[in-house]
Structure 1
Amino acid sequence: KPRVDPEVKKFYPVNGPLNIKVMSMAFLIENSDSPVIWRGPMKMGAVRQFLGDTIWGDLDYLICDLPPGTSDETLDILQLIPKENVIIVSTPQEVALMDARKTIKMAQIMKRNILGIIENMSGYKCPKCGEFIEIFGSGRCEKAAKDFSIQLLGKIPFEVEVGVQSDRGIPFVIKYSNYDSAKAFKEIVIIVSTPQEVALMDARKTIKMAQIMKRNILGIIENMSGYKCPKCGEFIEIFGSGRCEKAAKDFSIQLLGKIPFEVEVGVQSDRGIPFVIKYS
């Protein structure tokens, strides 16, 4: 929890690995399942407090990790910090790029400096046969960079250990500095990860919020639950397993099913074609 200074009515951020100072709503809620049911003005008040009432001390950089698209939080930060630099992070799917492109456009309209775009989870190397597969497709981040005249800062391949170590709070670039993704991190001088346990934190908050508001929850679906290498047939739980089952058990709801990752799902969705019909 952040330490509060009662005299000045301000608080100190939490110190993380490598003396990285962190401030988050996650430190202020009762537990990791508690949702924050706030509208825009309350969110903006919290953002202002994080920026103005936190005793940051001397910083090399202040990094604000924001949700995709043009959310209240993103707009607030762009308004409150007029001289910030913006880095766009997106996975290669067309649907994901739609949000990223809107963020780029908003930043340009507000005359903010965009350092560039990073393509995260840009490909996956099968640990059994070594085949490199562009599981989300390719070329869309390059196109966005070209369309908006910004730089493509780099591509970070998907590696299982990135998520595992991030969930444990261990900087991946230190523990596995020889991995391809760690090298990509260092090259673009920013740490980007998509740990599945962190994704479940948001899902659990949504469940809790629905229960507080007395809504009927039919159940939870685990999407992208595993991936079968098209070359060797090996099935790999690339995001780990068991967390959706645990959430279902913790909240006494049903696990409706698990949907494995298949490249053609994204391809056909981007084309507006129902995958269940074309590849039934």
Structure 2
Amino acid sequence: MGSCQSQQCSHGAGPQEEKSKEDIQLDEQLKRIKHKLLVMSGKGGVGKSSVASYLAVGLSKLGYRVGLLDVDLHGPSIPGMLGLRGMFRVDPDENLLIPHKYNDFLQVVSIQCLLEDSDAAVIWRGPVKHGVIKQFIAEAKWGDLDFLLIDSPPGTGDEPLSVAQMMPDAKAVIVTTPQEVSLADVRKSINFCRKVNMPILGLVENMNGLICPHCNKEVPLFGKGGGGKMAEKMGVHLLGSLPFDPRVVESADIGKSLLEQTDDSPFLKALGKLIAEVVSRSGIQQGGTVQKEAGAADTLSDPQSFKVAIPMAGGALTNHFGHCEQFLIVDVQKGVIGNKETITPPPHEPGLLPRWLGELNVNLIIAGGMGSRAIELFNQQNIKVVTGAPCLPPEELIQQYLANTLKTGANACDH
């Protein structure tokens, strides 16, 4: 990866040759990214970066392969919010920057992870910013992605314009709060997108009321419903409204997303609906009800009576199937959840888990993702496999499965 702190990259080639090579790399990488979402706002302080990070983590927990690119070059905050520390490494064979890994399905690139001093001021003009953003896309080892979320700085300056020029198929997610001063700036963001022919996926109304932790009453800190009215007036889709939750601020300060917890708070409920709306509006086929993977057992002998294994972390399903720390084994008889047992699996070896779970008389697995070879091995054990399941508590997953309402997304590990 060339140095991002110089105005011109140099790998020993002339300017025209280098430009051509970089443009080819850019085109090749963009072809491997299905959906590009530019998260932007008309002004600062509306929680744009928080929305970007929560969308990225939430999508990754559904098993989608996600990249999060922080192009707020003067005020990067994504690494701190996600607890990512240290400088980037470079792949010596391909000379590509290796993004930081938040989890197995989320990679992050930010200028902050290229600065030895995190407090250093980045003083760059527009052309340099454009070149750095191009390098972050073309010369980072992203691989195949379902989503690339780009967190841009507030306003309609160089960074969002560069993204619009590089990614003609990108769509905008515009973040606002209900108060009028924020909505006035949002109108400028909407008009910017229309000026550069960038489709708008929708508007997110953030901090839409505080649920008092003492009396459970809603307090309209920044007004109420202004985002919905603005969306209707400007002809933009309202993706969702997120209530103000002080824990979002606290979790950002310690670098740990609230999505690593499991609760039924108004914020996480609203966030779940928002993420589902983003997926739906992006045109991804989620499959409606449970999908059968190729090679998997077709049916259970009794669809209301079975023994199911669910890979667990923090009280909910985890996408780390082959390397999860614990499995929850649950007996279901005639549609009623019975005995539950948490078991630590044996050390991971190829082909071991299918035999081990078969010996435990498991005949159903609900997972976020699984490789095709593993699915074949489970099929040989006559164990049905459901992949693409959301990261929900096990009882909820089982109840949805029994009711044939379990929504599944992409197989989080389809190799």
Match of 1:112, SS?
coil
Aligned length: 190
Q: Percent identity?
A: 39
Q: CA–CA distance in 2 between the matches of 1:31 and 1:178? A: 39
Report the Cα offset of residue 59 of structure 1. Answer: 1.1
Contact 1:13–1:23 (Cα < 8 Å) also in 2: yes
Q: Structure 1 residue 9 and structure 2 residue 95: aligned?
A: yes
Residue in structure 1 matching 2:110, options 19, 24, 40: 24
The one-letter amino acid paired with 2:94 is V
Match of 1:104, SS?
helix
**In the TM superposition, what are the counterparts of 1:227-246 in structure 2 within 5 Å?**
none
* Aligned residue in 2 for 1:84: 170
Match of 1:15, SS?
strand
* Aligned residue in 2 for 1:51: 137
Contact 1:92–1:120 (Cα < 8 Å) also in 2: yes
Contact 1:90–1:100 (Cα < 8 Å) also in 2: yes
Contact 1:68–1:99 (Cα < 8 Å) also in 2: no
Deviation string, structure 1 residues 209-256 (Cα, Å, up to 9, x no partner): xxxxxxxxxxxxxxxxxxxxxxxxxxxxxxxxxxxxxxxxxxxxxxxx
Contact 1:153–1:188 (Cα < 8 Å) also in 2: yes
Report the Cα offset of residue 107 of structure 1. Answer: 0.9
Deviation string, structure 1 residues 111-149 (Cα, Å, up to 9, x no partner): 222111000111112222322111101232122211221
Contact 1:17–1:169 (Cα < 8 Å) also in 2: no
Contact 1:124–1:134 (Cα < 8 Å) also in 2: yes
Deviation string, structure 1 residues 2-44 (Cα, Å, up to 9, x no partner): 2212443321110014531000011011222112111111111
Residue in structure 1 matching 2:201, options 115, 121, 126: 115
Contact 1:91–1:97 (Cα < 8 Å) also in 2: yes
Report the Cα offset of residue 83 of structure 1. Answer: 0.3
Q: Structure 1 residue 64 and structure 2 residue 150: aligned?
A: yes
Q: Structure 1 residue 33 and structure 2 residue 119: aligned?
A: yes
The one-letter amino acid paired with 2:237 is Q
Unaligned segments of structure 1, at least 5 residues: 191-280
Report the structure, 1 or 2, having the larger helix content.
1
**Structure 1 residues 185 and 141: alpha-carbon distance in aligned structure 2, compared to 1, 3 A threshold:** same
Q: CA–CA distance in 2 between the matches of 1:121 and 1:62? A: 24
* Aligned residue in 1 for 2:235: 149
Q: CA–CA distance in 2 between the matches of 1:171 and 1:177? A: 13
- Coordinate RMSD, CA, aligned: 1.7
The one-letter amino acid paired with 1:100 is V
* Aligned residue in 2 for 1:95: 181
Contact 1:87–1:118 (Cα < 8 Å) also in 2: yes
The one-letter amino acid paired with 2:266 is D
Q: CA–CA distance in 1 between the matches of 2:93 and 2:104? A: 29
Report the Cα offset of residue 169 of structure 1. Answer: 2.7
Q: TM-score, normalised by structure 1?
A: 0.64
Q: CA–CA distance in 1 between the matches of 2:104 and 2:186? A: 29
The one-letter amino acid paired with 1:144 is M
The one-letter amino acid paired with 1:27 is C
Report the Cα offset of residue 176 of structure 1. Answer: 4.0
Q: TM-score, normalised by structure 2?
A: 0.44
Residue in structure 2 matching 1:169, options 251, 255, 259: 255
Residue in structure 2 matching 1:42, options 103, 110, 128: 128
Q: CA–CA distance in 2 between the matches of 1:184 and 1:167? A: 22
Q: CA–CA distance in 2 between the matches of 1:165 and 1:115? A: 27
Contact 2:208–2:225 (Cα < 8 Å) also in 1: no
Report the Cα offset of residue 164 of structure 1. Answer: 1.5
Q: Structure 1 residue 180 and structure 2 residue 266: aligned?
A: yes
Report the Cα offset of residue 66 of structure 1. Answer: 1.1
Contact 1:17–1:171 (Cα < 8 Å) also in 2: no
Match of 2:151, SS?
coil
Q: CA–CA distance in 2 between the matches of 1:75 and 1:177? A: 39
Q: CA–CA distance in 2 between the matches of 1:149 and 1:65? A: 23
Q: CA–CA distance in 1 between the matches of 2:104 and 2:210? A: 28
Q: CA–CA distance in 2 between the matches of 1:169 and 1:59? A: 24
Report the Cα offset of residue 48 of structure 1. Answer: 0.6
The one-letter amino acid paired with 1:105 is N
Q: CA–CA distance in 1 between the matches of 2:130 and 2:175? A: 23
* Aligned residue in 1 for 2:36: none
Match of 2:147, SS?
coil
Report the Cα offset of residue 161 of structure 1. Answer: 1.1
Q: Structure 1 residue 132 and structure 2 residue 218: aligned?
A: yes
Match of 1:61, SS?
strand
Kindly indicate whether structure 1 or structure 2 has the higher relative contact order, using CA contacts under 8 Å at least 6 residues apart: 2
The one-letter amino acid paired with 2:238 is L
Q: CA–CA distance in 2 between the matches of 1:139 and 1:129? A: 22
Contact 1:123–1:132 (Cα < 8 Å) also in 2: yes
**Structure 1 residues 17 and 178: alpha-carbon distance in aligned structure 2, compared to 1, 3 A threshold:** farther
The one-letter amino acid paired with 1:142 is G
The one-letter amino acid paired with 1:72 is D
Q: Which structure 1 residue ranges, 4+ long, deviate > 3 Å from structure 2?
A: none
Report the Cα offset of residue 64 of structure 1. Answer: 0.2
